[in-house]
Structure 1
Amino acid sequence: MVILSTAIIKVKDADNSYQFARAFLDSGSQPSFITVADIADFVLQKLTVSLPSHHIDVSRWRIPRHLPLADPQFNISQGIDIIIGAELFFDLLENKQFSLAVGYPLLQKTILGYIVCGRVAEPITEQTSVQSRHVCTEDLLDSQLKRFWEVDNFDDGKAYTSNEQACEDHFNENISRGSDGRYIVRLPLRQEMLTMIGDSYTPALRRFLSMEKTFGNDEDLHLEYSNFIEEYDRLGHKEVISHASCSPQFFLPHHAIHRPESTTTKIRVVFDGSSRGLTQLSLNDVLFSGLTV
């Protein structure tokens, strides 16, 4: 059988807390995948079968004790949380490896520790005959993209509900195009429900104060966040309003996610329209949902 490279890594969640995850280092994968997080290209419910396919007895292997293994339990069949593809795989490698012996795998040094990879001479059994493959065909992708973009069986003669008609009218009356070519449309608010949101300022303030505490422990995150807000202002995406305004207001909570490993955007700011006010209604709750096509 062939041992595939695994590593135990720390992943920062939405609350800026670190969680341990088991990663499969796959140089043959173009994108990266993850069950839940932000560094990957795709988020899936399940990534692959457990790796390795069965427990491997390593009691007689002479692995130098001073070598830190990226996955100390590489020989125990366990689930995979993340697949790190070729985009990051080769950035992890370092120029050093050990060969245990003929018929045993290699120990390759990485910035995560030593990964164990390669063929193991074992008698062929029902367990060892199991192999893992990760396949994605162009035909399947083409079919999925076609279904994504096509509108199937749309009936022009369909009778809309009052809410659907209101949402359709709102869209037609409020859509415009900016000087940069982007389409702009006002939020389809259900006016009769706006006053039912209640106090949304307190939850939003609580979220912001929690984020400020995080800034005290992460100067890079604070700097990146400040740069984001300055750019947000420079692009005209925000304006100052009075908290004392009598008109219905919704204070949109947000938090920053730091991605230092990203080669492009180091920070992503997430605005939370599902955050509920003190009456247990959120901004999303007072928007028309529109048509299903």
Structure 2
Amino acid sequence: MTSRLSQDLQLKIHEQDIEIGATCTQNTYYTKATIGSRFNGYCATLNFLVIERVTRNLPVLTKADRPWEIPPNLKLADPEYHAGGEVDIVIGIGLFWNLICIGQIRLSRGLPVLQKMKLGWIIAGDLPNVLGDLRAMCNLSLSRLDTQIEKFWNIEESLNHHPILSSEEARCEELFKKDVTRDNDGKFSDNYIPHS
């Protein structure tokens, strides 16, 4: 999450030292926020690293730049997707897969795909080169990509080490731990329901 968004939302910022590699410790800031759908009751509370900038601004697409029509009955997660601008948050892959719904519309070969999500429909995939302005972005890294990804997920995991459960879910988990055992064959048995 960008620091600008966390300030605009007046979120409480926490500080945490994150170990990167064997000898380097980095001072990191994080916050907790709830995201939700504009169309239904879906919401999720997440921890976010707070950084100055997630990525460069996305390109602006005019109507002429979009050689496709969005069906008017679709509720887009971001109805202003074509306006471009700053990326405020990035959702981790763990939640991303939970957001995907059944429903996909392929507009045409070489065009983006419309994908139904719990937050609304999104436009995904490659854009045809309609901007006429090819820009390249290069991120140079002297360490291996897999190592960097592992560090990122370790940071995210350290922020999410305690799952957020509703009182009903917590009670269910408590009862499960108390009443269910696993035998040597790997079979579950419960102490709550009498067996004949």
Bin of the TM-score, shorter chain as denominator length: 0.3 to 0.5
Q: TM-score, length-normalised on structure 1?
A: 0.33
Q: Normalized per residue, which structure has more strand?
A: 2
Larger radius of gyration: 1
TM-score, with length taken from structure 2: 0.47
